[in-house]
Amino acid sequence: MADERDDLDVSGDGAPAAVAGSRMTREQSRANTRDRLLAAARSVFARSGFHGASVEEIASEAGFSTGALYSNFDGKEDLFLALMEREIDEHAREIADAVRARASIAERATGGARRWMTMIDREPELLLLFMEFWAYGVRDPDVRPKVAERFAQMRQVLTGLIADGVREFDLELALPAEQLAVAIDALADGIARQKLADPDAVPDDLMGRVLSLLFAAATRPAPRTGTRSAP
Amino acid sequence: MADERDDLDVSGDGAPAAVAGSRMTREQSRANTRDRLLAAARSVFARSGFHGASVEEIASEAGFSTGALYSNFDGKEDLFLALMEREIDEHAREIADAVRARASIAERATGGARRWMTMIDREPELLLLFMEFWAYGVRDPDVRPKVAERFAQMRQVLTGLIADGVREFDLELALPAEQLAVAIDALADGIARQKLADPDAVPDDLMGRVLSLLFAAATRPAPRTGTRSAP
DNA sequence: CGAATTGGATAATGAACATTATCGAAATAA
DNA sequence: TTATTTCGATAATGTTCATTATCCAATTCG
C-alpha cells in the first residue's frame, strides 16, 4: 500500500503553518497544531468576537476537532489569552520600530501616531477583539490580572520609548515617563475606539498633532547636565 | 358612586419610582413599569455585564415577568440602548456642570478631569458596561450607528464646552474644537480603561495634568478681535 | 353596561455551545 | 516486536437563555 502520508495540506493557510514536509517528531507536530489552532483562533475571533466565536468553529477552521483544541489549551479563555499575548508582542514591536526610526521628537511622535492609525485601518477587528476581551477580562477576578499584565506590557514599551527620547535629545519632562506613557496609551486606545465606531469622526492626522502638542508642552531642554547639548 | 378617577397626576414623575399611590392610568402604569425595568436593567447589567445578564433576571429584579419586558422593549438590545441613552445624558450633564463652574481654562480642564476620575471611581461597572456594549455594537451593522450616535452625543457636549471656553476667554485654537473634543474624549475613555484594568497605574491627577498641558499647547490668546481683550 | 384593546403572566420552544469522557491510532520506548 | 504514552477524534452532556405563542384581567371606549 502506498504510504500516502503527505497529509493533504490543502489549507494554504499560509501564515504560521509548519509545512508537514516529512515526518515530524511529537513535539514538532504538537507545536504545529498549536500554531494552526492559534491562527484559526485569530481569524475566527476577529470575525465573530470573543463571545460570538465558538470553539467548534475555531477547531474546525484549523482542520481539527474540539478535542484537539482542548488537548492544547485549557479552554476558550486560555486560547484567547495565548493569542492576545502573541499579538500584543507583535504590535508593540511594530510601533517601537516606527518610533525609533525617526530623528526628532516631533517626528517620533507623528511617526508612531501614523503607524498606529495604519494599524487601526488594517486590522480593526483585532483591536475590537482586544477591547471586547478587555471588558470581559476586567470583570472576572481571575482574568483581570492577566489582562492588566498584557496592557502593562504595552505601557512599558511606551515608557521605554519616551525614556530613550529623553536621553537622546537631552530633555526634561514635566511628568514622569511612566505617566506620560499611560496618557499616550490612553489616547491611542481612545482614538482607536472612536475611529472604530465612527471612522469619519477621526481625521488621520489628529493623533499625531495632539501628540506633538502634548510633547511640546511636556518637554523642555534639560538644564546643563554632563551630557553635551550644545545650543 | 365616587368616581375615584381623579388621579390628577400626583406623580411628580420623578425618576423611576411612581408610587402606586392611587389608581394609575394606563399610560402612567406603562411608563412606570418601563422605568422600573430600566432601573433593574441598570443594576443587573452593571453587575453582570451585557452578555452575562439575562433578561429573566432583569425582569424578575424589577418584579415583572419576561413577558412584561418584551412588551415594553424590543428585546435585550433595545432595552440596553434605552438605558445607555439615559445614562449618557446624565453623565454628560454632570461633566458639563463641573466644567462650567470653574473660572479659568486650566481650572475648567482640571475640574472636568477630576469629575471624570470621580465618576470612574464611583461607578466603574457602568463604564465597563458601556465599553462592553460598545464592542458588541460596533460589530453589528444595525447597532453600530446607534452606538456611534451615543458617543457623538458626548463629543458634542465637549465641543460645546471648548467653544464656550474659547469664546469666554477669547482664545485661539491650534486645532478645530471638534477635533480637540475627539482627543479629549479619547483620552478620557482611555484613562478610564487603564484605571479599570489596573487602578494603581493611573494617578488621580494625571488626567488633569495632561489636559492642562494639552490646553496650554493648543490655545493662545486671540489676536485683536472686536471683543475687548485689552492686553 | 358590553365590547374591544392591551399590559403583563405563564410556559413552551428550540437552539447554541463549552466542556468532558472515552477511545483509536500513531509514535516513542523497551 | 511489544508495551506505553499521548495526540487528537467522536460523540455525548447538560445547561443556559433569548424569544414567542397563548391567555387572563383590567382598562378604555362606545
pLDDT tens track, chain B, 231 positions: 333 333 333 333 333 344 434 467 888 899 999 999 999 999 999 999 999 999 999 999 999 999 999 999 999 999 999 999 899 888 889 989 999 999 888 899 999 999 999 999 999 999 999 898 899 889 988 889 988 988 898 899 999 999 999 999 999 999 999 999 999 999 999 999 999 999 999 999 999 999 999 999 999 998 865 444 443
Cβ burial, residue A18 (10 Å; 0-12/13-18/19+): middle
Q: How large is the angle between the packed helices A177-197 and A105-122, nearest 10 degrees?
A: 40
Sort out which chain A residues have CB atoms less than 8 A from B217's CB and list them.
213-214, 216-217
Point out the nucleotide closest to A56 (alpha carbon to C1′): C17
Rg for chain A (alpha carbons), in Å?
22
Residue A151's closest CA among A80, A85, A83, A90? A85
pLDDT over 70 (residue A228): no
- Higher-confidence position of A230 and B195: B195
Point out the nucleotide closest to A31 (alpha carbon to C1′): D7
Backbone phi, then psi, for B219, in 5-degree steps? Answer: -125, 155
Give B84 to chain A, closest Cα distance, Å. Answer: 15
B161 with B178: CB under 8 angstroms?
no
Q: What pLDDT is attached to residue B186?
A: 97
Q: What pLDDT is attached to residue B5?
A: 33
CB atoms within 10 A of CB A142: 8
pLDDT in tens, A125-157: 999 988 988 898 899 888 899 888 888 888 999
The protein residue nearest D16 (Cα–C1') is B54
Give B119 to chain A, closest Cα distance, Å. Answer: 17
Contact B189 A193 (CB under 8 A): yes
DSSP 8-state class, residue A230: -
For residue B196, give the C-alpha cell: 479599570
Strands B171-173 and A171-173: unpaired
Top residue of A88, A179, A213 to mutate, by most chain B CBs within 10 Å, is: A213
CA distance B93 to B87: 10
Whether this prediction's pTM lies above 0.95 is answered by: no
Largest separation between any pair of C-alpha atoms in chain A: 82
Task: Name the residue in chain B with its Cα closest to that of A154.
Answer: B194
B61 with B43: CB under 8 angstroms?
yes
Residue with cell 490655545: B219
At position B107, the amino acid (one-letter code) is E
CA distance A80 to A44: 11
Residue B122's closest CA among B178, B196, B187, B179? B196
Q: What pLDDT is attached to residue A218?
A: 97
Give B198 to chain A, closest Cα distance, Å. Answer: 6
CB pairs under 8 A between A and B: 146
pLDDT in tens, A183-214: 999 999 999 999 999 999 999 999 999 999 99
Distance A3 CA to D1 C1' (A): 21
Sort out which chain B residues have CB atoms less than 8 A from A186's CB and list them.
186-187, 189-191, 193-194
CA distance A92 to A75: 26
Give B144 to chain A, closest Cα distance, Å. Answer: 7
Which residues are registered as beta bridge partners of A13?
none
CA distance A45 to B67: 34
Task: State whether the beta carbon of A70 lies below 7 angstroms from any atom of strand C.
Answer: yes
pLDDT in tens, A63-121: 999 999 999 999 999 999 999 888 888 888 988 899 999 988 889 999 999 999 999 99
B50 with B133: CB under 8 angstroms?
yes
Q: What pLDDT is attached to residue A225?
A: 56
Residue A117's closest CA among A94, A134, A83, A151? A94
Q: Which nucleotides of C are covered by protein (CB under 7 A)?
A: 6-12, 16-22, 27-28
Q: Would residue A7 be called left, alpha or beta, if left means φ above 0 and alpha means ψ between -120 and 50 degrees? A: left
CA angle B177–B188–A95, rounded 5-degree value: 95
For residue A99, give the C-alpha cell: 518610533
Q: What pLDDT is attached to residue B224?
A: 65
Q: What pLDDT is attached to residue A224?
A: 63
B143 with B50: CB under 8 angstroms?
no
Spell B55-87 as b/e; 16+ CB within 10 A means b.
bebbbebbebeeebbeebbeebbebbbbbbeeb
Contact B198 A152 (CB under 8 A): yes
Q: What pLDDT is attached to residue A85?
A: 86
CA distance B25 to B23: 7
A129 with B138: CB under 8 angstroms?
no
A71-77: long-range contacts, CB 8 A cutoff, minimum separation 24? A72/A30, A72/A33, A72/A34, A72/A37, A73/A37, A76/A50, A77/A143
Contact B186 A186 (CB under 8 A): yes
Top residue of A140, A206, A211, A212 to mutate, by most chain B CBs within 10 Å, is: A206
Point out the nucleotide closest to A29 (alpha carbon to C1′): D7
Predicted confidence band at A2 (pLDDT cuts at 50, 70, 90)?
A: very low
CA distance B201 to B196: 10
Q: What pLDDT is attached to residue A43?
A: 96
